[in-house]
């Protein structure tokens, strides 16, 4: 994906592109994932090589165990 699209994702801008079968998305998917991950104290990392592919990753840390009441 172009560097401009990666920048939009990193800055939480909503946008959409046509898919591999010319389907149009809503532009909400990655934004929802980013919000969900931020609620857990982490973020979405995006790397992309135009014409090669994109990688999306995140790190979740385990929650501390709490006794059941």
Where in the chain are the domains? 3-57
The better pLDDT of the pair 53, 14 is held by: 53
Inform me whether the pLDDT recorded for 69 exceeds 90.
no
For 9, phi then psi, to 5°, come to -65, -45
Distance CA 69, CA 56 (A): 38
Distance CA 26, CA 17 (A): 9
pLDDT at 45: 92
Choose from 5-14, 27-36, 53-62 the range with maximum mean pLDDT.
53-62
Beta-carbon contacts of residue 32 (< 8 Å; ≥ 6 apart): none
pLDDT in tens, 23-50: 887 777 888 888 889 888 899 999 999 8
Residues in the chain: 69
- Taking the whole predicted model, whether its pTM rises above 0.85 is answered as no
Distance CA 60, CA 37 (A): 8
């Amino acid at each position: 994906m172009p560097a401009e699209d990666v920048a939009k994702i990193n800055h939480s801008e909503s946008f959409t592109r046509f898919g591999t079968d010319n389907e149009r998305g809503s532009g909400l998917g990655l934004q929802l994932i980013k919000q969900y991950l931020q609620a857990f104290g982490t973020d979405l990392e995006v790397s992309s090589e135009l014409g090669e592919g994109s990688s999306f990753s995140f790190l979740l840390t385990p929650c501390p165990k709490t006794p059941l009441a």
